[in-house]
Amino acid sequence: MATAITSRSGHVGKLALHRTIASFRDWRRAVGLSRPDTTIGLVPTMGALHEGHLALVRQARRDNDVVVASIFVNPAQFGPHEDLERYPRQLAQDSRVLADLGVDHVLAPDADMVYGQHHTTYIDPQASLRKTAEGQSRPGHFRGVATIVTKLFNIVQPTNAYFGQKDAAQCVLIRRVTEDLNLDVTVHVLDTVRDADGLALSSRNAYLTESERRAAPVVYQALTNARSLFQQLENDDDDGGRENPCIDRDALVHVVRATLAAEPLVSEIQYVAVDCKATLQPLEHVHLKQGAVLSLACKIGNVRLIDNIIL
């Protein structure tokens, strides 16, 4: 029945699956009229769900009366040579997983319904974010993310929305857009979920060959090696001797790059960035009190992986 279930709106257990925006809106308007104090939690996803998504869903389930997940592979956030076509799609399976976790509604419209024939309006993310490492690395990506998140917030009108820290730049962007466009939604960012060996969960991990998968924990290892350096600073400061202790960006980047370079399956290091936690602007020095986001993008074989930790 999975095929029939996922080709049009219907039910998977108690979960209502909406394959059209109109079907979802009918429900949204009705609940707004009959139970206006209902709290609604939204977990926006591109499907191919892993434990990282499920952690967001569980938090949404704890916080809200109703939980909505969206499953939409957003063409606007993929570059022309990226993996839009190849991106895994498994709506029937995802819907069952979400139903088991007590999700009430899934919004999974087709792309030509989300971006109509005459669609031409995009959210222009702040120029400064476009200039961040991830923005430079994926031109147009943030514009696509900001546009789809605005659209989803307007369709779902959630009380709360949940995102994962793994996409650090995306989280800063979404907080910025939500505030700037006066969207009446509280944005929650949850910690990155990792496999036992440290690899951050990602739908793109499915592209890794077996040997690449074995090599992939080097990404997190590189970040934690740099963190050790930062923690030395903390330890050194325990006697409280130095005023405003800090570490140079270059020292952190060096450790990350050296760790990655030692793994032969790392085919490309796209960036290693040390940025302000609030604005994602690059930092020259990381002060003990202010910390930073340390993030990187690299390729293992042909698979692009990103990860970050908060210092």
Active-site residue numbers? 53
In the complex, the smallest distance separating the C-beta of residue 166 from its own copies, rounded to whole angstroms, is 22
Q: How many other C-beta atoms are found inside a 10 Å radius of the C-beta of residue 199?
A: 21
Instruction: Please tell me the distance from the alpha carbon of residue 221 to that of residue 208, in angstroms, as a whole number.
Output: 18
Determine, following the binding rule CB under 8 A, whether residue 179 of this chain makes contact with its own copies. Answer: yes
Residue closer to its own copies (CB basis): 209 or 279? 279
Residue closer to its own copies (CB basis): 22 or 262? 22
**Among 152, 200, 149, which residue's Cα sits nearest to residue 173?**
149
Which residues face 105 on adjacent strands?
16, 68
Q: How many residues bind its own copies (CB under 8 A)?
A: 36
Q: Which residues in the 55-114 window bind its own copies by CB under 8 A? A: none
Q: Which of 53, 151, 166, 213 binds its own copies (CB under 8 A)?
A: 151
Q: Which of 183, 273, 294, 296 binds its own copies (CB under 8 A)?
A: 183
Burial label for 278, CB within 10 Å (0-12, 13-18, 19+), is exposed
Determine, following the binding rule CB under 8 A, whether residue 116 of this chain makes contact with its own copies. Answer: yes
Q: Give Cβ neighbours of residue 21 (< 8 Å, ≥ 6 apart).
A: 107, 109, 113, 114, 155
Q: Which of 128, 209, 232, 267 binds its own copies (CB under 8 A)?
A: 128
Determine, following the binding rule CB under 8 A, whether residue 33 of this chain makes contact with its own copies. Answer: yes
Determine, following the binding rule CB under 8 A, whether residue 36 of this chain makes contact with its own copies. Answer: yes
CB 310 within 8 A of CB 295: no
CB 80 within 8 A of CB 150: no
- Of 100-108, 146-154, 160-168, 291-299, which segment contacts its own copies by CB under 8 A? 146-154
Residue closer to its own copies (CB basis): 4 or 33? 33
In the complex, the smallest distance separating the C-beta of residue 58 from its own copies, rounded to whole angstroms, is 27
Give the DSSP per-residue string, 258-272: HHHHT-TTEEEEEEE
Q: How many other C-beta atoms are found inside a 10 Å radius of the C-beta of residue 78?
A: 18
Q: Which of 1, 4, 37, 243 binds its own copies (CB under 8 A)?
A: 37
Instruction: Please tell me the distance from the alpha carbon of residue 111 to that of residue 71, in angstroms, as a whole number.
Output: 11
- Of 70-78, 176-184, 207-215, 228-236, which segment contacts its own copies by CB under 8 A? 176-184
Instruction: Please tell me the distance from the alpha carbon of residue 138 to that of residue 178, in angstroms, as a whole number.
Output: 22
Tell me which residues touch its own copies (CB under 8 A): 21, 25, 32-33, 36-37, 116, 118-129, 143, 146-147, 150-151, 154-155, 157, 176-177, 179-184, 279
